[in-house]
């Protein structure tokens, strides 16, 4: 019992969020140091050049603010939007991008961390080992 309580306190202090299976969705320290999985999501964000439409800070440009959108968008809807696009709204499909589709869970974790306010900077760094 004490062990679970301590784990909960440590993860809360580190800025963790949980996925549906109760594993941390992301872990953040100091607002910008993230776990390797979330770091992979940030790298996917950069490689796919999502900032061209959603802005360098995910706060919107010609595309909507992902900081706001991911407050209400489900993960399933996020994956569908990225995979299939929303051409009527100008969102291209990334379904043929192997890098994006292979890392879609990590991309979601990074963007959800931004939306939750746990990741306070758009540019992140790995948590030092």
Note the pTM of the prediction, 2 decimals. 0.85
Query: pLDDT value at position 10?
Result: 42
Strand partners, 33: 29, 125
Mean pLDDT on 18-47? 91
Write the pLDDT tens digit of every residue in 84-123. Answer: 999 999 999 999 999 999 999 999 999 999 999 999 999 9
Per CATH, the number for 36-122 is 1.10.760
What is the Cα gyration radius of the chain? 15
Query: Quick one: pLDDT at residue 129?
Result: 85
Tell me the three state secondary structure of residue 100: helix
């Amino acid at each position: 019992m004490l062990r679970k309580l301590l784990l909960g306190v440590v993860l809360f202090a580190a800025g963790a969020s949980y996925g549906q299976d109760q594993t941390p969705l992301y872990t953040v320290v100091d607002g910008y140091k993230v776990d390797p999985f979330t770091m992979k999501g940030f790298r996917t964000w950069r490689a796919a050049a999502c900032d061209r439409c959603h802005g360098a800070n995910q706060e919107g440009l010609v595309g909507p603010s992902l900081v706001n959108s991911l407050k209400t968008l489900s993960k399933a809807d996020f994956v569908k939007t990225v995979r299939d696009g929303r051409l009527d709204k100008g969102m291209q499909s990334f379904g043929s991008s192997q890098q994006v589709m292979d890392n879609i869970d990590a991309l979601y974790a990074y963007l959800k961390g931004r939306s939750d306010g746990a990741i306070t900077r758009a540019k992140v760094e790995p948590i030092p080992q």
